[in-house]
Amino acid sequence: MTDAASDRLLGGQAWDEFCDQLKSAGRIVERFGDAEIDKLDRAEWYRFLARLTRNGLERFAENCEPERPRLRDTPWRQSINFQSPDQDHLLAEFVDGSHDYVIRGNRGGLPYFVIAAWRAPQPTNPGTRDRAGEGVAGLTEFDPTALQTTGAITSKQVTFHGEGNFEIVVSQKDPGDGRDWLPITADCVGLLVRTLYHDRASTAPPSFTIERADHPSPRPVEPGEMSDALAKAGQVVLGYGELVRRWWQDNLAQRPNEIRFDRAVYLSNGGVPDRHHGFGTWECGADEALVIEFTPAECDYWIFQLCSIWQENLDNYEDGGGHVTKYKCRTRPDGSVRTVIAGRDPGLDRANWISPFGHRHGGMSLRLIGLAAGEEPPQVTLRRVPLDALARDGQAALDSVVPIVSGEVA
């Protein structure tokens, strides 16, 4: 560990910079005018930053010890980048990819999981110098959120023994002995396990552990390591703050009430190639309803969900709201799905009603995992109608509105 990083930690500069990065992240919201965001958006912005701060400190100050790797769930209520309520995210943080690891576990009743290896633009020792004055411009060189998946292994590729036990080698070189293998690169910054539930309440949970193959002894933290950890934690708050601003103002908000499937965008942000993930925005007044229809492609699982403009699940997701899924929806006789977004249930396709929970706009996503061979993401139609008319006239209110058609694959 470098003397410069240690000196900056012991002299207090590393902590000061961490605090300055949080201040810089907080000011990103000033890029939005009053016509773009309301009081609810602003309240959720600062809560979003608080959650990101918890996320950064837990990941890098608590869970980045080279000798003691762990797979840890993300902090409670953290839902970065349209995270599905049916998925848990387990993270292991690496300084680099110079070591070999073994993941062991049991799938429980889990129908599916995928483990991905990541790299990101990141200096070797980020705690050696001050970056707070650079603001978002410094993300070009150092951005822990610009995650690129370099390798992945799914539960369909894993060999299970006994009652669901498994073992996966994680290394740069194939062990060559027939064991399941997840390749990593020399600049690997960590792993992400996405666990997917079809019905969480009735599913036995899985277990995942990770350890270094050479079994090093744990040791006390070094000052330079804590300097690096604070630099990463501050930069991840800044990075995600700028990411959601950029996605909204420079991309999604340009296409209101539309969804686009863009694999390049999805994969540039830590995505995995086992799915198609479409992103868009929704906008709906208190006296309006959005009626969305699509025919899901044949796949293992799909979810349509609403989020805030900061890409977080709405607060009603804890009560089972804010989304519909393949296993918790009402399908129409022709196989299509119609979901209604409105402040109150208009009585149309009641099982698929989604409350926006006080929001007037936000992000929406349609995720399809494990598509059958030859299947493509579906076309999506959206009609924006007066809520009273929909409640009174039902289908007739929809027939009088020309739909917005989207769902293209970019």
Write out the residue range of the structural domain in which residue 291 sits. Answer: 251-406
Q: At what angle do helices 3-10 and 13-26 cross, to 10 degrees?
A: 80
CA distance 280 to 254: 9
CA distance 160 to 68: 25
Q: Which of 203, 226, 248 is the last residue of a domain?
A: 248
Q: Which of 248, 267, 293 is the last residue of a domain?
A: 248
Prediction pTM value: 0.95
pLDDT score at 265: 83
CA distance 139 to 159: 40
Instruction: CATH number of the domain at 331, please.
Output: 2.60.120.1600
CA distance 172 to 307: 37
pLDDT score at 243: 96
Q: Which of 219, 248, 277 is the last residue of a domain?
A: 248
Which residue type, as a one-letter code, is found at position 190? G
Residue 66 shares a structural domain with residue 215? yes
Q: Are 18 and 230 in contact (CB under 8 A)?
A: yes
Q: Residue 303 in 3-state DSSP? A: strand
pLDDT score at 350: 77
Average pLDDT of adjacent 10-residue blocks, the chain of 410 residues:
89 97 97 96 98 97 96 92 95 97 98 97 93 92 96 98 96 96 98 96 97 97 97 97 96 94 85 93 97 97 98 94 95 96 91 95 97 95 98 96 95
Q: Are 316 and 83 in contact (CB under 8 A)?
A: no
Residue 205 shares a structural domain with residue 334? no
CA distance 51 to 80: 10
Residue 35 shares a structural domain with residue 10? yes
Residue 87 shares a structural domain with residue 178? yes
Residue 244 shares a structural domain with residue 265? no
Residue 243 shares a structural domain with residue 124? yes
pLDDT score at 194: 97
pLDDT score at 287: 97
CA distance 358 to 347: 19
Residue 68 shares a structural domain with residue 207? yes
Q: What angle do CA 165, 167, 168 make, to 5 degrees?
A: 145
pLDDT score at 206: 98
Residue 219 shares a structural domain with residue 358? no
What is the count of structural domains for the chain?
A: 2
Residue 299 shares a structural domain with residue 265? yes
pLDDT score at 266: 87
The span from the first CA to the last CA of the chain, in angstroms, equals 44
Q: What DSSP state is assigned to residue 173?
A: S
Residue 217 shares a structural domain with residue 111? yes
pLDDT score at 410: 84
Residue 240 shares a structural domain with residue 256? no
The torsion angle over the Cα atoms of residues 71, 62, 172 and 169, rounded to 10 degrees, is -30
Residue 188 shares a structural domain with residue 307? no
Q: Residue 313 in 3-state DSSP? A: strand
